[in-house]
Amino acid sequence: MKFVVIGGGIAGLACARKIREVEKNSEVVILSEEKKPYPKIVLPYLLAGMIKENDLWLDIPQGVAFLHQRVVKVLPDQNVVVTTTEEFRFDRLLIASGARAVVPDFEGNTSPFIFTVRNLSDISGIRTRLKKAGQRRIVISGAGPVSVEVGDALRKLGYKPIFLVSSQRILSMILDEDGSETLIEGLPKREVEMHFGENIKRVKARKEGVSVETESGREFKGDLVISGKGISPNLDFLSSSSIEISQGVVVDEFLRTNKTGVFAAGDVCQAYDIVHREKRINALWPVAIEQGRYAAMNMLDLNIPYIGSIPMNIITAFGNTIFTAGLSAIEGLETYRRREERKFSKVSLRNGKLVGVIFLNIGIDPGVYLFAMEKEIEVSGLKDVLLSGELSYNHLHSVSKTRELRT
């Protein structure tokens, strides 16, 4: 049997590795736009010099062919993948093509002074431009996880990040207002600028760098602009495939698409989300690994259901550690908060079951909280324990046994 994987990221690698573990005689081919696989989540750390490029590369599973090929078309009814140079036949296909960075539509958005942080080539381009930076001020569009981590990396290199944030919160997709305020209060004010309610209108190249004009009429000057306004799944090559696409490639509980023998995993995969109770893309490293492994088992006809994922983030930046999971920034739930100095905790319950958490500068075991959400365990009697960050498996076992006795 021949297995073809589109995408050389962690989802594709996890799938290929699992296939080789279970079925050692099958042919496995990975088609990748990158020459070698690497973890994109560590790019801010590479920029900061905390890791070296030689230590970046991921291992290719033994017996797997990793080919530098760009896919342009999938013909699922013919069991064929078409690249720019040749065709590959398959018995089973995994679509794990990942996502690309999105630059908003504003005047000058194609300027060579504007960068995203999604690929290794982005880091190379930023480093080259930084060598010519005279103002040592970097304008960053957005304040999501990648933007915040990149801003921290630049600060460590001696540059001042200037954040232009369209909303009124930092990390607005995962922090509520109180969490955002707590984080902002702890930022090193002399080393970081935060400007809220600002959208870029145009960027103009100057001899000494760039001039950024916002829709409010303000002007910000810097050496370059980094855009961190989100990502979009790589789907263009599927336009004529008849594979069902919504926000991403839609899959069932076995990570199968609507086409026989075709599966999806990772940042392009729209699968079941446990806390949102609908199919969503959760573009997260651990989710990509898990989906890759489950896809492999089901590509091998083992028929093992994938129960779904939970959105989560772990961010370390500007001396803060942030953990969020589930419906962390959603209002309208049964919510409890605790705030003191630079620490903040929030737990959200739905019908007595944990569905969202925020922990800022509080040591916790993330696995326990994720387990409670995944298993939908009744935890309404553990509010203080939940907020303290000290929830343990013993707590969950105790409440489960108590509930069994009552019923």
* Number of domains comprising the chain: 3
Is residue 210 domain-shared with residue 357, that is, in the same domain?
no
Distance CA 117, CA 331 (A): 31
Q: What is the pLDDT along the chain (407 residues), one digit of tens a residue?
A: 999 999 999 999 999 999 999 998 899 999 999 999 999 999 999 999 999 999 999 999 999 999 999 999 999 999 999 999 999 999 999 999 999 999 999 999 999 999 999 999 999 999 999 999 999 999 999 999 999 999 999 999 999 999 999 999 999 999 999 999 999 999 998 999 999 999 999 999 988 899 999 999 999 999 999 998 889 999 999 999 999 999 999 999 999 999 999 999 999 999 999 999 999 999 999 999 999 999 999 999 999 999 999 999 999 999 999 999 999 999 899 999 999 989 999 999 999 999 999 999 999 999 999 999 999 999 998 999 999 999 999 999 888 766 654 44
Q: Which residue has the tokens 């080539």?
A: 121
Which domain does 263 fall in, by range? 2-100+233-299
- The size of the chain, in residues, is 407
Is residue 190 domain-shared with residue 240, that is, in the same domain?
no
363 close to 391: Cβ distance less than 8 angstroms: no
250 close to 241: Cβ distance less than 8 angstroms: no
Domain edge (last residue) among 271, 299, 327 = 299
Domain edge (last residue) among 168, 202, 227 = 227
Locate 284 and state its tokens. Answer: 């997260």
2 close to 27: Cβ distance less than 8 angstroms: yes
Query: 273 by DSSP, 3-state: which?
Result: strand
Is residue 200 domain-shared with residue 346, that is, in the same domain?
no
Is residue 123 domain-shared with residue 200, that is, in the same domain?
yes
Is residue 243 domain-shared with residue 266, that is, in the same domain?
yes
Identify whether 196 is part of a domain. yes
Residue 126: partners with Cβ closer than 8 Å, 6 or more residues away: 47, 115, 117, 224, 226
Checking DSSP bridges between strand 99-101 and strand 92-95, what pairing results, if any?
A: unpaired
Is residue 95 domain-shared with residue 237, that is, in the same domain?
yes
Q: What CATH number does the domain containing 334 carry?
A: 3.30.390.30
- DSSP H helices in 120-209: 120-130, 145-156, 177-185
402: left (phi over 0), alpha (psi -120 to 50) or beta: alpha
Is residue 245 domain-shared with residue 223, that is, in the same domain?
no
Q: Write the burial class of residue 314 (CB in 10 Å: 0-12 exposed, 13-18 middle, 19+ buried).
A: middle
Distances (CA, A) of 333 to 37, 151, 203, 328: 41, 32, 41, 10
Is residue 237 domain-shared with residue 251, that is, in the same domain?
yes
- The pTM of the full predicted model, rounded to 2 decimals, is 0.94
